[in-house]
Structure 1
Amino acid sequence: MTTSSTTGVDTCADSCARHPRCSIFKFNTITSLCTMFVPDTFLPVSSGTLLSGERLYAMTNGWCPVEYGYIYLKNVHMCIWTSSTLATHDSAVSQCGLRGGRLVVLAGTQRWEAIKTLTIKHGIRMYVGADDKAVDGTFVWNNGHLVNDSEWNPYEPNGLSGENCVTTNGRLIDVACGNALF
C-alpha cells in the first residue's frame, strides 16, 4: 500500500495505471490523499471501511466500481458483478443489462481459470452467456461464437428437455433456464 498527496482523482488514477501491480486505489476528496493497493486476485471491497469523502476505484479499460460489489479480475482485465440472490436465466440477463453488462463469455484460458477459481472459491454455480435458444443443440455465446466442445463437463450438453441455458462450476453444464442460480 502506498499513500501520497495528489492534485485530484485523475492524477491518482494515472499513478495507479502506471504502477505495475496496482489495480485498486482510494482517493480522499477532502485531504487529496491517494492510496494505491496491490490486492489479491479477487478482492471485493466494502464501502463500509471508507472515511468521509473517500471512494474506492479499480482500474480496467474503464472504471470498475468495486465499492458497489463488483470484483476486478486484473489478470484478465475483467470487471464482474455476482448477485447475492438467486435468479433465473432471464432475470440474470436483465440484472446484468441494468448494470450495463452481460452474462460472462468464457473466451480464452485465462478467463476460464479466473471464473473457475471464483466459482470454486465461493462455491457458486452461475449462469454464463451461452445458450441454445436459437437452434436447439447448438450452443452459442452471447457474442455470437460457438461454444467449444472441450469446454463442457463430461456427458454435457446432455440435451435433456428444456436445458437451453448454461452454468459453470469450472466446466459448462446445460440447465433449464428457469433454475434459480447466482
Structure 2
Amino acid sequence: MQTSFNNMQRSLETLRTNHNDLTARNNQLQTNYNNLQRSNVKLQTTFDQVQGNYSSLKRDKDQLQASYNTLKQERDQMQTSFNNMQRSLETLRTNHNDLTARNNQLQTNYNNLQRSNVKLQTTFNQVQGNYSSLKRDKDQLQASYNTLNIRRNLLQIGYNLLQKDKERLQNSYDIVKTEKEQLQTNYSSLATSEEQLQKKIDKARRRMVCQTGWQKFDLSCYFVSTVKKCWLCSRRDCVAKGGDLVVIDSRGKQEFINSLLKKGEHAWIGLSDRIIEGDWTWVNGDPVTTTYWEPGQPNSVYGEQDCATFMQKSSGMGEWNDLGCDNKQIYICEL
C-alpha cells in the first residue's frame, strides 16, 4: 500500500507538472490571442490589404478554438482525476492510521508474549532440572508395575478358577437348599397333621364321657354359661375350667352350637380382632376359613366392636355378629 501510495504521489506530481505546462500554454495562447486581437484591429484598418489572407487566418483561428476546447476538456478531466485522487489519498491516510493502530497493538501483544516466553523458559529450566529425577522414579515405577502386572495375571487366573468352583458350589447349594426347603415344608405339614391327630386322640382318651353340665359333640365337650360376663372375663372362666371359648370350624359345629342356645339368645365365641383391626382370628390362633356372619356384619361401629357373638336362629343354623368386648353376654366354652 505504501508503494502504491508513492506511485500515486509521483503520478500526482506528474499531473501537476502537466497542468502547469497546460496553464502556461493556455496563457501563451491567451497572449497570442490578445496579440491577434490587436493585429486584427490593425488588420481591420488594412482590411483591404489583407482581404486576400482572411480565409487562411479564419481557418487558423478555428483550429486554435478547437485546440482551446480540447485543452479545456482535458483540464476538466484532470480536475476530476485530481479530486478522485484526493479522495483516494484520504482513504489511504485512514487505512494508514488503522494499520498503525493495529501495528501498535501487535507490538504490545508481541511484548507480552516475549515476557511470557521468558517466564516459560524459566519454568522449563526448572522442569528440565527435575526431569532426570522423575525419569529415574518412572523407571523404578515401571519395574514395580511390571512385577505387579505379572502377579495380577497370576491372581486373575487363580480368581477365575475359584469363580468356577464357586459357581459349581453355588449350583449345588441351591439344589440342596431347594431340597431342604421342600423337606422342611413336608416336615412342617406332617408335624401339624401329627399334632392335630394327637390332640384328637388325647381328647378321645380323656373325654369318652363329658363332665356334668357339659354336652358332647364329636370329640369335644361344650358348656353354656348361665351368667353373663364380658368377652375377656368369659374366656378366663373357660380357661379356668380347662378349655377356652368355642372355636367354630365346621358347619356341623355351627349347627350344634345353635342347638345349645335358647331362641334368640346371644353368646360369646372365641373369635375377635382385638390385636389387628379387621384381622379376625380364633383364640387358638387358627385363621378364619369358614364364616357365618349376619349380612352386613362385621361392621365395627366406631371401630370399637372387636369381639364376636353367636346369635341363635330358630330357622337355620345361627349367625355371627361383632359387638363391643365390654358388653356382658353368656358364653360357650369348649374342652
TM over 0.5: yes
Aligned to 2:227: 85
Aligned residues: 120
Deviation at 1:146, TM superposition (A): 2.9
2-side partners of 1:110 and 1:79: how far apart? 14
2-side partners of 1:158 and 1:128: how far apart? 17
Alignment map for 1:18-167 (pairs within 5 Å):
60-63=204-207, 64-67=209-212, 69-73=213-217, 76-119=218-261, 121=262, 123-148=264-289, 150-161=291-302, 162-167=304-309
Tell me, yes or no, if the aligned pair for 1:66 and 1:72 is still in contact at 8 Å.
Answer: no
2-side partners of 1:111 and 1:135: how far apart? 26
CA distance 1:140–1:180, change in 2 (3 Å): same
- Classify the secondary structure of the residue corresponding to 1:168: strand
Deviation at 1:159, TM superposition (A): 1.7
TM-score, normalised with respect to structure 2: 0.34
Aligned to 2:319: 171
2-side partners of 1:103 and 1:128: how far apart? 5
Tell me, yes or no, if the aligned pair for 1:61 and 1:77 is still in contact at 8 Å.
Answer: no
2-side partners of 1:90 and 1:102: how far apart? 11
CA RMSD of superposed structures (Å): 2.0
Deviation at 1:151, TM superposition (A): 1.8
CA distance 1:110–1:149, change in 2 (3 Å): closer
Deviation at 1:106, TM superposition (A): 0.3
Tell me, yes or no, if the aligned pair for 1:60 and 1:79 is still in contact at 8 Å.
Answer: no
- Structure number with higher strand proportion: 1
1-side partners of 2:266 and 2:220: how far apart? 19
- Structure number with higher helix proportion: 2
1:180 and 2:328 matched: yes
Which is greater in Rg? 2
Deviation at 1:139, TM superposition (A): 0.9
